[in-house]
């Protein structure tokens, strides 16, 4: 027989006592844990009833952490998730409840309803049938039967909608899908199919709405983001197209379709932004060149060519160098879009520069019909009307034979040439001399007005600085830079002294 060391014997004598202590401590911990779980459940229930959902959720989290097999804690947390509109989070909790307590009818009925809303019809029907077999209450039985019938009807509609879609009867297919989505509001596949119907029907706004919903309902839905991006792109909205394709690449950086489309949209977007920056800087010629590049980058989507022409029309009208081209480009835009207010305003401005006042008035009036409160249109129309009236009297640009965009050097040059030609001393016949005198005065006045920035601005606004009536009772402004010492009403010989400055 083996002898036991006295010390070891003494230690062994304490073992039963230690085991009792450990057991008591374990029971105390277990008891404390149970009390903690129940406390969290009770507090969570009160907060849920009070509508304090976030605080209730926190207590149910703690209850589950304390007892991962407490089916009621999962059920209560699922109830909070549903109240918060977080059905995706509620579904796993309801499944856990059913796993822990398969005969919990309320949980199974709620899970069936969620599955029905998601369009998971077979799974939903399975839950409803099990509810009916599990001795449900009258209310639960009635609801399960109703939902089961609804699920059967949706199954038929799904089959019919797919058949109609395959036959390209998109209107009928969309009508069936409307009925499906009324019940299965979170059904991604039905929304995507209805979006495709809308695309084929040309109802892009409705297609976008369904695809946006589909992109939120399915967390990794690169297909929806790609389709959204292409729709926006074909509608001419390059910025929204870029936003959506970026969302696709966030989910899958290696997505071939999205990456290829991203490069195209990014290039086009950059060109358009650059062109608009050049317009802001009044670098109109460079902006025209940039918008011409836009049309080369995307020649197949009419919206971009149309937009580019509209902006080129604007640039040419503002640049004032090639008025004829401005009118031609603006007219091209208006041929396809007769009510385009911006192009009507720009063409009217070009017509003014080209001294086609009646045409300018017509464009401004058409623009006003589309935008009654536009101050720019009102002022432009008033100016065109003044210039038309003015052109029927005396036009200093026509007198000198220069364009309204002429620089001061061109004006002086034209004046010198005409002043030499129409100097009264060049004429011997009394009648010819008299006509030359009048012509010479007009030439000198034209030079006086057009070489003075302030007077020229007044004239360009439809006011004649040399006309007392135009000055609204003001005095005739005398001029003397053209010649000195000339009295057109005197009887003595003319003594013209030219100052060609």
Using a pLDDT cut of 90, give the percent of the chain over it.
66
User: What is the value of pTM for the model shown?
Assistant: 0.70
Looking at residues 245-256, what average pLDDT do you find?
A: 96
The DSSP line for 81-110 is HHHTT-HHHHHHHHHHHHHH-TT-HHHHHH
Q: What is the pLDDT of residue 10?
A: 52
216 CB neighbour count, 10 Å cutoff? 12
- The pLDDT tens digits of the residues spanning 370-387 come to 998 999 999 999 999 988
Q: What is the pLDDT of residue 404?
A: 83
- Best CA proximity match to 144, nearest among 153, 154, 133: 133
Using a pLDDT cut of 70, give the percent of the chain over it.
86
Comparing 345 with 428, which gets the higher pLDDT? 345
- The pLDDT tens digits of the residues spanning 452-463 come to 999 998 888 878
Q: What is the pLDDT of residue 385?
A: 92
3-state helix, strand, coil in the chain (%, to 5): 75, 0, 25
- The pLDDT tens digits of the residues spanning 293-320 come to 999 999 999 999 999 999 999 999 998 8
Looking at residues 224-246, what average pLDDT do you find?
A: 97
Q: What is the pLDDT of residue 394?
A: 79
CA distance 327 to 319: 12
- Contact in structure between 134 and 98 (CB atoms under 8 Å): no
Q: What is the pLDDT of residue 465?
A: 84
- The pLDDT tens digits of the residues spanning 67-112 come to 999 999 999 999 999 999 888 899 999 999 999 999 999 999 999 9
Q: What is the pLDDT of residue 390?
A: 78
Contacts 24+ apart (CB under 8 A), 401-410: 402/450, 403/353, 404/352, 404/353, 404/355, 404/460, 405/320, 405/321, 405/323, 405/353, 406/450, 408/451
Q: What is the pLDDT of residue 498?
A: 46
Q: What is the pLDDT of residue 466?
A: 81
CATH domain 401-501 topology: Helix Hairpins (1.10.287)
CA distance 3 to 21: 28
Looking at residues 342-359, what average pLDDT do you find?
A: 93
Query: What is the chain's mean pLDDT, rounded?
Result: 86
Burial of 337 (0-12, 13-18, 19+ CB in 10 A): middle
Q: What is the pLDDT of residue 4?
A: 47
Q: What is the pLDDT of residue 391?
A: 77
């Amino acid at each position: 027989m083996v002898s036991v060391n006295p010390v070891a014997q003494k230690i062994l004598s304490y073992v039963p006592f230690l085991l009792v202590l450990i057991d008591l401590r374990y029971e105390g911990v277990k008891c404390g844990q149970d009390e903690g779980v129940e406390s969290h459940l009770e507090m969570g229930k009160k907060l849920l009833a009070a509508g304090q959902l976030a605080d209730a959720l926190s207590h149910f989290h703690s209850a589950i952490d304390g007892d991962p097999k407490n089916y009621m804690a999962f059920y209560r947390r699922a109830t909070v998730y549903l109240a918060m509109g977080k059905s995706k989070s509620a579904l796993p909790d309801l499944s856990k409840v059913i796993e822990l307590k398969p005969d919990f009818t309320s949980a199974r009925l709620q899970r069936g309803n969620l599955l029905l809303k998601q369009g998971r019809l077979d799974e939903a029907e399975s839950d409803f049938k099990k509810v009916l077999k599990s001795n449900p209450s009258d209310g639960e039985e009635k609801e399960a039967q109703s939902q089961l019938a609804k699920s059967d009807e949706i199954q038929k509609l799904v089959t019919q909608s797919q058949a109609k879609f395959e036959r390209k009867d998109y209107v009928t297919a969309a009508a069936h899908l409307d009925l499906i989505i009324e019940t299965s509001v979170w059904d991604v596949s039905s929304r995507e199919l209805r979006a495709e119907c809308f695309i084929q029907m040309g109802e892009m706004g409705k297609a976008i709405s369904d695809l946006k919903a589909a992109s939120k309902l399915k967390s990794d839905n690169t297909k929806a983001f790609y389709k959204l991006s292409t729709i926006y792109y074909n509608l001419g909205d390059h910025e929204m197209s870029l936003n959506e394709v970026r969302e696709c690449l966030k989910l899958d950086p290696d997505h071939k379709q999205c990456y290829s489309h991203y490069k195209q949209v990014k290039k086009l977007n950059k060109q358009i932004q650059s062109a608009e920056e050049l317009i802001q800087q009044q670098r109109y010629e460079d902006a025209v060149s940039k918008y011409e590049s836009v049309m080369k980058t995307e020649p197949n989507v009419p919206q971009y060519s149309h937009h580019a022409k509209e902006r080129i029309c604007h640039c040419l009208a503002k640049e004032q160098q090639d008025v004829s081209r401005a009118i031609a480009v603006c007219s091209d835009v208006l041929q396809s879009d007769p009510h385009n207010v911006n192009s009507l305003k720009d063409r009217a401005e070009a017509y003014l520069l080209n001294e086609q006042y009646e045409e300018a008035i017509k464009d401004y009036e058409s623009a006003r019909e589309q935008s009654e409160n536009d101050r720019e249109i009102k002022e432009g129309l008033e100016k065109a009307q003044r210039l038309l009236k003015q052109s029927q009297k005396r036009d200093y640009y026509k007198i000198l034979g220069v364009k309204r965009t002429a620089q001061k050097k061109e004006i002086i040059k034209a004046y010198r040439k005409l002043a030499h030609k129409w100097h009264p001393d060049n004429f011997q016949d009394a009648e010819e001399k008299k006509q030359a005198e009048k012509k010479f005065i007009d030439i000198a006045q034209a030079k006086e007005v057009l070489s003075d920035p302030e007077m020229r601005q007044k004239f360009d606004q439809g006011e004649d600085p040399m006309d007392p009536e135009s000055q609204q009772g003001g005095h005739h402004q005398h001029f003397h830079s053209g010649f000195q010492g000339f009295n057109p009403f005197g009887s003595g010989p003319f003594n013209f002294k030219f100052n060609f400055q």
